[in-house]
Amino acid sequence: MLAGSYSEPNLAIAANDLGVAVSYTYDYSPSGSNSEYLRLLHLTPDTLSVVRFTELLAQYEFHTSNVSCKELSLLADGTTLQVQGTKVGIIPFELGSGSNYIATYPDFFTSTTAPTVVAY
């Protein structure tokens, strides 16, 4: 398990010369009824040190809910990270609705720009 997580994480990795993108589900409590959210990291390719840390959270009835990653990929430009998965609740500022989402992080390795999230 990853430090601080109380359940086995769902892990995904995408990499190129600019960096390594890692996503994993994070469970902050040993309670079986708690929520999982998605953590995203940018690691340097040479030392694997953390350059960027961000999270995807969903809200459901005023509580944090579940977000998972089914696919993590770098788009053809090599700098845009795309996360596809399922969720329960609403990710803040998402467009659309539904239990699936696509979060797109432009220039993931060179900026801290917030993602565009589309639910379907």
The mean pLDDT of the chain is: 88
Cβ-contact 81, 72 below 8 angstroms: yes
Q: Which residue type is seen at 52?
A: R
**Amino acid identity, position 44:** T
Backbone phi, psi, residue 114, to 5°: -65, 155
17 lies in a domain?
Answer: yes
Q: Which of 4, 7, 10 is nearest to 85 (CA)?
A: 10
Can you give the pLDDT at residue 82? Answer: 98
Q: Please check whether residue 3 lies inside any domain of the structure.
A: no
Instruction: Give CA separation, 39 vs 12, 24, 117, in Å.
Output: 11, 5, 15
Contacts (Cβ under 8 Å, ≥6 apart) of 82: 71, 72, 73, 74, 75, 102, 103, 104, 105
State pLDDT tens for residues 59-106.
Answer: 887 666 789 999 999 999 999 999 999 999 999 999 999 999 999 999
Residue 99 lies in a domain: yes
The pTM score is 0.86
pLDDT given for residue 1 in this prediction:
35
How large is the average pLDDT for residues 94-120? 97
In a domain, 57, yes or no: yes
Strands 116-119 and 36-43: unpaired
Report how many domains make up the chain.
1
Residue 66: strand, helix, or coil: coil
> Which range of residues forms the domain containing residue 91?
11-119
Domain membership flag for residue 1 = no
